[in-house]
Amino acid sequence: RVVSQLLAELDGMNKSSDVFIIGATNRPDLLDPALLRPGRFDKLLFLGISDDRDSQLKIVKALTRKFRMHDSCELESVVSQCPLNLTGADFYALCSDAMLNAMKRKIAMLEEGAIEDQSVEVSQEDFSGALATLVPSVSNEELVHYKSLQRQIAQQK
């Protein structure tokens, strides 16, 4: 019933209106073919993972642009330790966990009275700790499946 209602709404839209409907799914193989007809969701765009080190480094740099980094922290080294099946969300988790590790370390140092400076610097060790607990959200098997779906859909066009 939901698909029928969605189709009715899509078909009932005025063609001259400046409204674009965008949908996202991680299971394109389960889409009802009626949704993919012209005038509905007629364009498909596959957004894969960043599976090269340069792209991954750009993502990590963007996510950490507001971080205060320790002088010894090398993002290239962090990225070189990352698996190639990490999604953007996985990189976000990695960076936020590294910041959390840095904050915990800073709080412990402040409580000990060892320092007075309250600024938080993210170190290589903070990233290493975050990497140790990071589980990719897409397995290699799922990645192969998604790429085969991409090829199938591309051949249908």
Q: Please state, as a whole number, how many other Cβ atoms lie within 10 Å of the Cβ of residue 95.
A: 23
* Stated pTM of the model: 0.78
- What is the reported pLDDT for 132? 96
pLDDT at site 14: 62
Per-residue pLDDT, 79:
97
Range(s) of the domain holding residue 35: 2-45
CB 57 within 8 A of CB 146: no
Please report which residue ranges of 25-139 form alpha helices under DSSP H.
53-63, 75-80, 88-112, 124-133
Domain count along the chain: 2
34 within some domain:
yes
Residue 105: what pLDDT? 93
Residues 41 and 57 in one domain: no
Tokens for 3, please give them: 């698909």
Residues 103 and 82 both lie in one domain: yes
pLDDT value of position 40:
79
Q: CATH number, domain at 70?
A: 1.10.8.60
29 with 78, same domain? no
Same domain, 111 and 138: yes
| Residues 35 and 83 placed together within one structural domain of the fold | no
Note whether residue 126 is domain-resident. Answer: yes
- Look at residue 156 and tell me if it is in a domain: no
Per residue of the chain (157 residues), what is the pLDDT tens digit?
A: 888 888 887 777 766 677 778 888 888 888 888 888 877 787 888 888 888 999 999 999 999 999 999 999 999 999 999 999 999 999 999 999 999 999 999 999 888 887 778 889 999 999 999 999 999 998 889 888 888 888 887 787 6
Looking at the structure, do residues 105 and 64 belong to the same domain, yes or no?
yes
Please report whether residue 141 resides in a domain: yes
DSSP 66-96: TS-B-TT--HHHHHHTS-TT--HHHHHHHHH
Give dist(CA 124, CA 111) in Å, integer. 22
